[in-house]
């Protein structure tokens, strides 16, 4: 293998964007190499950044070439208010958008539906029509700003909205950049915003992967998410095993559809949690890349680096935030964000200090963004690639996390794969057990939480809390009635009828017809109700 000095000067230098310097230094002027190794030759499990098995990072230059995308997760109330928050954060230096949708939108209910009562605009923005989405991105160049949408059961519908909105702006959808979460398996495991049974849901996931691969090559059709399972209480190895198992299931579905793994796997992305145990989280991220590269190569015969390269977004752990002494959450978030960066994340959301109390205020959201900017601009951690790589403790911990995750993955394989294990309740029961153990440890004091069971104070100061007006539901219902009155009702009905016919034919990719239905004025709720007549509604089976 090429010696390190030659690699630094040749391979690394070629990977740097134009204008980026090869050399860097500390604040004191001490010169820094792009990468360091413990010995004379890299270990086979380490390699070098940008090369198999990607333990040290998915790209040769990492943050020396381009810092991670700062993608703050935002959404509340109306499209107008969320658009204002987007513009505010972009003006303050945010480099990508991440949309939070309210529960009715996530589950395919319009804001005037009975099941939407009490939830309209509460935990995200309310989107029911193409007009809503156009308002959400008003003044934001969709061909220049990367857009992430945290949406799962209704992900194909929201992608259809995005495609239709781009077309109405005169933007070729092939130029869209961003990520769709679109990860249904973890909804059955840990989160619960499902609408349809697993089989048709997997079909829809695969439809999106196939459509993006053919039509929107710069868009990630899925963000395979461990985050929500970690929020539900799983451990780091469980998060890793369950996430990668879900990823393998999606790859299997796409390959069975006839897609070439080397052609589509490079568009897959992942979404992990950055939790409190600093070094365990760094090890988890490094192990994730190594495991995924080997799994894609061994199980599906992937040959191209792009197909085996695991890229991921990270969000700091919302479940670790406390309502007690909320300013202390800034410290937690900073450490978690630093773990994500040292683990090699491609995109990052830092939680706001007040999220245990309510939606983030503008001031809290800005401080969360500034946290990332200080890490990127002032800490020096971007000067050297994988600065913890080669450390005996980090490498041993990476091996330990991987070994524990592989053991769980083997159990899932024995059960027939991720989808079959979901039906058996395996992942959910494992997560519940881990969450119970954690809660017991907090209650008996063996796991210390500052402000909760140690270092408490008597007089708490509650910061300002952002609340959504309950009158919003009435306003949204009125706007929806106006939308329905203004559209061509016959064209909308015809598009929905065609969608139902095509949904009954499993050989048809539904994305083109979803776009047609959206362009005809169909709402999120109408589209999902139409699909439900064909697919049915999922009723979970208790695992207890």
Whether the per-residue pLDDT at 5 is higher than 70: the answer is no
The band of 15, judged by pLDDT with boundaries at 50, 70 and 90, is confident
Report whether 367 contacts 353 (CB < 8 A).
Answer: yes
- 86-95, 125-134, 138-147: range with highest mean pLDDT: 125-134
pLDDT of residue 470: 86
Whether the per-residue pLDDT at 158 is higher than 50: the answer is yes
Mean per-residue pLDDT for 513-533?
Answer: 98
Whether the per-residue pLDDT at 42 is higher than 70: the answer is no
Could you tell me if residue 4 is inside a domain? no
Could you tell me if residue 246 is inside a domain? yes
pLDDT of residue 341: 98
pLDDT of residue 533: 98
pTM assigned to the model: 0.93
**Per-residue pLDDT tens over the stretch 184-236:** 999 999 999 999 999 999 999 999 999 999 999 999 999 999 999 999 999 99
Whether the per-residue pLDDT at 39 is higher than 60: the answer is no
Split into its structural domains, the chain has a count of 1
Whether the per-residue pLDDT at 284 is higher than 90: the answer is yes
**Per-residue pLDDT tens over the stretch 417-426:** 999 999 999 9
Q: Strand pairing partners for 180? A: 149
Nearest of 535, 543, 527, 499 to residue 113 by alpha carbon? 527
Classified as helix, coil or strand, 315 is strand
pLDDT of residue 467: 86
pLDDT of residue 1: 47
Classified as helix, coil or strand, 272 is strand
The string of DSSP codes covering 408-466 is HHHHHHHTTSHHHHHHHTHHHHHHHHHHHHHHHHHHHTSS--BTTTBS--SS--PPP-B
Percent of the chain with pLDDT over 70: 95
The band of 41, judged by pLDDT with boundaries at 50, 70 and 90, is very low
Nearest of 19, 482, 405, 7 to residue 238 by alpha carbon? 405
The CATH number of residue 423's host domain is: 3.20.20.240
Quote the mean pLDDT of the chain: 93
**Per-residue pLDDT tens over the stretch 391-414:** 999 999 999 999 999 999 999 999
Supply the range of the domain harboring residue 286.
Answer: 62-444
Could you tell me if residue 537 is inside a domain? no
Q: What angle do CA 168, 90, 345 make, to 5 degrees?
A: 100
pLDDT of residue 16: 72
């Amino acid at each position: 293998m090429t010696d390190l000095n030659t690699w630094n000067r040749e391979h690394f230098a070629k990977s740097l964007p134009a204008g980026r310097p090869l050399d860097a230094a500390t604040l004191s002027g001490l010169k820094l190499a792009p990468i360091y190794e413990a010995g004379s030759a890299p270990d086979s499990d380490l390699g070098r950044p940008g090369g198999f098995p990607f333990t040290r990072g998915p790209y040769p230059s990492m943050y020396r070439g381009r810092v991670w995308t700062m993608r703050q997760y935002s959404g509340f109330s109306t499209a107008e208010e969320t658009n204002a928050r987007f513009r505010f954060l972009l003006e303050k230096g945010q480099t990508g958008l991440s949309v939070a949708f309210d529960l009715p939108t996530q589950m395919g209910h319009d804001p005037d539906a009975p099941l939407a009562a009490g939830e309209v605009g509460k935990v995200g923005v309310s989107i029911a029509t193409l007009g809503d989405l156009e308002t959400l991105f008003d003044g934001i160049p969709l061909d220049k700003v990367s857009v992430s949408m945290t949406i799962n059961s209704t992900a194909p519908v929201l992608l259809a909205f995005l495609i239709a909105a781009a077309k109405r702006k005169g933007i070729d959808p092939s130029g869209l950049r961003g990520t769709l979460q679109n990860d249904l398996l973890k909804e059955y495991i840990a989160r619960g915003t499902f609408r349809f049974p697993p089989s048709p849901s997997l079909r829809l996931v695969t439809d999106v992967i196939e459509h993006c691969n053919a039509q929107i090559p710069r868009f990630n059709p899925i963000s395979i998410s461990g985050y929500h399972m970690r929020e539900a209480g799983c451990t780091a190895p469980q998060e890793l095993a369950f996430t990668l198992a879900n990823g393998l299931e999606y790859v299997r579905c796409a390959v069975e559809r006839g897609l070439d793994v080397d052609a589509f796997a490079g568009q897959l992305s992942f979404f992990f949690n950055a939790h409190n145990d600093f070094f365990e989280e760094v090890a988890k991220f490094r192990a994730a890349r190594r495991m995924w590269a080997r799994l894609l190569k061994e199980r599906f015969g992937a040959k191209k680096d792009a197909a085996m390269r695991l890229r991921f977004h990270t969000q700091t752990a919302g479940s670790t935030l406390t309502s007690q002494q909320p300013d202390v959450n800034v410290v937690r978030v900073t450490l978690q964000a630093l773990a994500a960066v040292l683990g090699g994340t491609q995109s990052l959301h830092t939680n706001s200090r007040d999220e245990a109390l309510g939606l983030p205020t503008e001031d809290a959201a800005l401080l969360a963004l500034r946290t990332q900017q200080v890490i990127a601009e002032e800490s020096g951690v971007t000067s050297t690639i994988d600065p913890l790589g080669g450390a005996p403790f980090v490498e041993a911990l990476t091996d330990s996390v991987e070994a524990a995750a592989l053991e769980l993955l083997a159990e899932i394989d024995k059960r027939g794969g991720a989808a079959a294990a979901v039906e058996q309740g395996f992942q959910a029961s494992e997560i519940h057990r881990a969450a119970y153990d954690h809660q017991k440890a907090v209650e008996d004091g063996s796991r210390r939480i500052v402000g909760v069971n140690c270092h408490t104070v008597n007089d708490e100061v509650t910061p300002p809390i952002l609340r959504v007006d309950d009158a919003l539901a009435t306003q949204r219902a009125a706007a929806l009635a106006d939308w329905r009155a203004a559209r061509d009702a016959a064209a909308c009905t015809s598009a929905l009828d065609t969608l139902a016919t095509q949904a009954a034919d499993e050989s048809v990719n539904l994305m083109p017809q979803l776009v047609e239905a959206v362009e005809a004025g169909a709402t999120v709720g109408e589209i999902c109700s139409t699909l439900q007549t064909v697919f049915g509604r999922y009723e979970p089976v208790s695992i207890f």
